[in-house]
Amino acid sequence: MTPAAAYLHVLAAFADFDGRASRAELWGFVLVHTLVMGVLVVASAVVGRWSGMGWIAGSAVVALYLAVSFFPALSAVARRLHDTGRSSLLVALGLVPIVGLLLLYWLVLPGEPGPNRYGQPPE
């Protein structure tokens, strides 16, 4: 799965917290999301400087994008945890400083081979 395809797939599955997601799906989404955020931040800085409004107008665009992408990202992380055989409730560990690194570790682990209690392995 290409990063662009992963990004579009995660956006389309924004409300799907069931099933499993591959590493390629999650990290492809993260890559494109990071690139989009970088472009938006740079564009908002440039436009803000030219318009004299500072970061106000650009910050609104960045905040809107973050709001729109929040649930797709959350669902992708939940499905990725399912692929490693863990509960999606562990997403909450990302809110705890330092302990959130454990969540990152689980997200880079290979998924369980074969079906698990969350479904068939991702393609």
- 116 domain residue, yes or no: no
Show the domain range for 80.
Answer: 3-108
> Does any domain span residue 89?
yes
| Structural domain contains residue 91 | yes
Q: Is residue 93 part of a domain?
A: yes
Task: To the nearest 10°, report the CA torsion of 72, 77, 82, 86.
Answer: -140
The per-residue pLDDT for 111 is 95
| Domain-embedded: residue 122 | no
Q: How confident is residue 59, by pLDDT bands cut at 50, 70 and 90?
A: confident
What value does the mean pLDDT take over residues 94-114? 93
With respect to residue 55, please indicate whether it lies within any of the assigned structural domains: yes
- At 54, is the pLDDT very low, low, confident or very high (cuts 50, 70, 90)? low
The H or E element that residue 73 is part of is helix 56-83
The pTM score is 0.89
In a domain, 18, yes or no: yes
Contacts of 117 by beta carbon, 8 Å cutoff, 6+ apart: 85
pLDDT of residue 44: 84
Predicted confidence at residue 50, as pLDDT, reads 67
In this predicted model, which residue has the larger pLDDT, 46 or 50? 46
> What is the average per-residue pLDDT within 42-59?
74
| Residue 80 placed within a domain | yes
Total structural domains within the chain: 1
The per-residue pLDDT for 52 is 67
